[in-house]
Structure 1
Amino acid sequence: MQMQSSPAGDMLQGLHLELAQRAEQGLLRQRRMLQGMQGAHVVINGKRLLSFCSNDYLGLASHPALISAMSEAAQQYGAGSGASHLVTGHQTAHEVLEQRLQQFMAVPAVLLFSTGYMANLGIITALCGRDDEIFADKLNHASLNDAAVLSRASLKRYAHNDITSLERLLAQSSARRKLVVADAVFSMDGDIAPVPALLALCERYDAYLMLDDAHGFGVLGAKGRGILEHFNLSSPRIIYMATLGKAAGSAGAFVAAEQVVIDYLLQSARSYIYTTASPAPVAAAALAGVDIISSEPQRRQDLQQLITYLQQHCQLQRWQLLPSNTAIQPIIIGSNDEALRVSKHLQEHGILVAAIRPPTVPKGTARLRISLSAQHTEQDVAHLLNALHEIEVA
C-alpha cells in the first residue's frame, strides 16, 4: 500500500502565514547592509548615518592596529584554520591569545571559543545534566536560555536581579550540581547584575556562578577586566565568559575558570570539540584589541563621559530612559509600531538607532537601544537627543 504524502506546499504555506503575522505585529526582522567599516558614522545602503547600533564600545573594530595584526597573521597562518582545535586547527595565534587573556584577567586558565553563543552552549551543556539544576535570571541572553534547555538540567528562572527570589529557589534544591547563570551586563537593559550577592549565595548553598560578561569585558573596571574587576571579585566558584567581538573589536569568545574546569571543557564541550577553529587572523586581531584595552584607559574614560552626558541631558516626557551606567542606554517606547516609527524617523534625520521588540524584550517594552562608543563625541550625542526630543513632542 502506497502512503499518501502531504502536498509540498503545506509547510511553505504555514511559513508564509507566520511571516505575515509577524509583519502585522511589527515583529518582522530585516537586515541592513553596512558598506565599509564599523564606526560612529557608517554607510547603510548608500546613506551616511550617525550610528548608535554597534557593540564596538571602544571603537576598535576599525582600529589600524587590529587591521594590521589581522593582515599580517593572514600572511603567516593563511585565511582558514582548516580543522577543529583538537585536530590541527589550534594554531600559535590561538595559543598566544589564550595565554595573554589568562595573564590579563589574572585567572588560572582560559579556553577560546568561536563565538559567545557557542561558548555558552559548550559551558552549560558540559557542566550540567539531568541530575543538576540551573538557576537563571529571567532577562538572561537567549544563548544562556538555549544552553540550559539543551543541558536537560532542571531550569529555574528567578526574577530579574532578585536575590530573595534566587535564594528561595536555591534553598529548595537538592540537585547534584547547582549552577547560577546570569548576564553580567544585561544586553537590552544595560543594568549590572548584583554579582557579589550572587556569589555569596553560591557559597552559602554550594553552587557555582557562571557570568556572561559580553558587554562588560573591556569596558568595566579600571583596566577593562570587566565585571570581576568592577566588583574586585575572585573565586574558584566563578566561571567567567566574555566575548571578543564587542569592546575587543574582533570576534570570538573565551571562558576563564579553574584549570580543572578548563580541562573538562576541552574534553566535553561539544561546541568546542565539533567545530572548525576560528581563523588565526581573528585571534591575532583580538590580541591587538586586548593590548589596547590594557594600555589605553582613556577610551573607557571617554565612554563614561558620554554616558554621563546622555543621562544628564536626556529629558523625556512620554518615554523612559532606563537607569544604566553602561554603554547600553535603552529608552522604553512601549508599542512595537511606535518604536519602529521613532527608529524610522531618526533614520530620516541621519541617525541609526535600533528598535528592539519582543521576543528579544518582554511584550509591551519595545525600545530604542542606544549603544554608545568611545568614537562618539558629545556633539553626536547632542544631535541624537535633540532629534529624540523633537519626535517625542511632535
Structure 2
Amino acid sequence: MSSNKHLDFIENDLNELKEKGLYKNIKTIESPQGAWVNIKGKKVLNFCSNNYLGMANHPRVTDAAKNAIKDYGVGPGAVRTIAGDMDIHQKLEKKLAEFKGVEAALSVQSGFKANLSAIPSLVGKGDTIISDALNHASIIDGSRLSRAEIKVYSHNDVNELEEILKQNPPGKKLIITDGVFSMDGDIAPLPEIVELAEKYGAMTLVDDAHGEGVLGDSGKGIVDHFGLHGRVDVEVGTFSKALGVMGGCIAGSKQIVEYIKQKARPFTFSSALTVPDTAATLEAINILSESDELVLKLWDNAEYFKQGVRDLGLDTGGSETPITPVMIGDAKDATTFSERLFKEDVFAQAIGFPLVPQGQARIRAMISAAHSKEDLDFALDKFAKVGKEMNLI
C-alpha cells in the first residue's frame, strides 16, 4: 500500500480493476509488427495490431523513412507556425488530398490530435454537436473541449438523429460519426447521415480511422465507399492503422482546412509530424495509389477467418469489416480466453469495459493482409481448442 494515505485510492482502484478482469497487462513486442511477433522470446501469431495492410514493416515504407532522415534529419524543429513548413509535409498533404479526392489536407501528430484539432475549431460554446453513442474517445474528448452542447444518438440510429435535428438545437450544428466502429467493426450509415445534415443545415465530420486503407477504391475510405465526395464537410483520419506509421490528418475543402489550420491549438502549439513518419506515410499512400492488391488480400483474409469462426459456433457480432469481434460476454472469461490463446501462441487481446459495454467483452481479432491462409487456419484451430476447453462451443 502507498505510504501516502491521500493516494490510497489509487491502490484500491488498481486492485478492483484486477478483480474485475479489466486490468491492462501490456505485453512487450521485441520485433517489427507483422503477421507474427516476438514477445519475451516467444513467436506468436499477431491478432492485435491495426496494421491492416502489413505496411508497418513494408520494405518500401521503411526505406522511405531511412532516406528521408538522410535528407532532412529526424525532427521538424518546432511548430510549423514558428519553424516553417518542411516541403516534405506539403508533399504529403498534397498527396493525401489527391488520394482522398478533396481540395486540401492537413497532417497532425496523431488521429487523436486530428479530432482535438478539428472539432473545437468548428464549433464552440452556444453550438451543438450530435454524436453517435459509440464514437471513439478522441471524438468524445474533442467534443468536450469545444464546450459545445453535446447530444448523443443511439448507435447508427438515423431516426433518433433526425429527431434531435428536428428540435433545431442552437448555433452551428455538427454531426460526428466514426466511419468504421473500432470495437464492433460495423459501418456508419453515412449516406443517410449526410442527407439529414443537408436537410437540416448541419455540418458533418466522419472519423475514417478504420476505413482508410480498408474501404473504398484502393482503400480511399468511407466517403469513396459510398460515393459521397463533396458532401462530407470534414474527414479525419490516422496513419497508424492501415498505413502502418504514426500521425493523423484532416481533409476537406481548402476553406475548411485553412480555417482549422488557423484555429487548431494542437497544430499551433505542438511540433509537426516527424520526418521519417511523414516520408513513410507518403510512400504508403503511393503503394495504395498504384495497386489495390493489399486491400483485396485483406478482405479475402477477413472473410475467410470470419466464416471459420462462425463455423465453430462463435459469434462475430455485427462486423462488416476485417475487425472481427469474437463475443465472449463476461470480462473475466474473455481475459481467460485471451491468456489461454497466448499459451497456444496466438496473441489476441480481450476487450472489456469501458472500451465496450458491460457484458459484451470479446476477443478482438484484427486481420491483416500480412496473414497467410496457413496463419488463419492455425488461429482457427487454437480458437476451437480454447473454446471447447472453456465450454463456449
With structure 2 as the length reference, what TM-score do the two structures score?
0.96
| 1:23 to 2:7 alignment | no
SS in structure 2 opposite 1:360?
A: coil
Distance between the aligned counterparts of 1:281 and 1:315, measured in 2?
41
Amino acid at match of 1:29: K
What residue number does 2:227 align with?
Answer: 232
| 1:205 to 2:200 alignment | yes
| 1:157 to 2:157 alignment | no
Change (3 A) 1:8 1:149: farther
Distance between the aligned counterparts of 1:391 and 1:315, measured in 2?
15
Distance between the aligned counterparts of 2:379 and 2:231, measured in 1?
44
SS in structure 2 opposite 1:223?
A: helix
| 1:287 to 2:282 alignment | yes
Between the aligned residues of both structures, percent identity stands at 37
Aligned match of 1:80 in 72, 75, 84?
Answer: 75
Change (3 A) 1:237 1:319: closer
Contact 1:108 1:258 in 2 (8 A): yes
Unaligned runs of 5+ in 2: none
Q: CA deviation at 1:319?
A: 4.3
Amino acid at match of 1:144: I
Distance between the aligned counterparts of 2:6 and 2:178, measured in 1?
37
What residue number does 1:61 align with?
Answer: 56
Distance between the aligned counterparts of 2:362 and 2:293, measured in 1?
30
Q: Per-residue CA shift, 1:335-366, capped at 9, x if unaligned? A: 11100000011111100101011101111111
Distance between the aligned counterparts of 1:220 and 1:128, measured in 2?
28
Aligned match of 1:47 in 30, 42, 51?
Answer: 42
Unaligned runs of 5+ in 1: 1-6
Q: CA RMSD in A?
A: 1.4
Distance between the aligned counterparts of 2:275 and 2:149, measured in 1?
38
SS in structure 2 opposite 1:321?
A: coil
**Runs ≥4 residues deviating over 4 A:** 316-319
Contact 1:236 1:257 in 2 (8 A): no
Aligned positions of 1:51-130 closer than 5 A: 51-88=46-83, 90-130=85-125
Contact 1:59 1:374 in 2 (8 A): yes
| 1:313 to 2:311 alignment | no
| 1:329 to 2:324 alignment | yes
SS in structure 1 opposite 2:320?
A: coil
| 1:134 to 2:129 alignment | yes
| 1:370 to 2:369 alignment | no
Distance between the aligned counterparts of 1:50 and 1:214, measured in 2?
24
Distance between the aligned counterparts of 2:31 and 2:84, measured in 1?
30
| 1:345 to 2:340 alignment | yes
Q: Count how many residue pairs are aligned between Structure 1 and Structure 2.
A: 388
Distance between the aligned counterparts of 1:243 and 1:301, measured in 2?
20
With structure 1 as the length reference, what TM-score do the two structures score?
0.96
What residue number does 2:7 align with?
Answer: 12
Contact 1:248 1:293 in 2 (8 A): no
Contact 2:236 2:249 in 1 (8 A): yes
Aligned match of 1:304 in 271, 278, 299?
Answer: 299
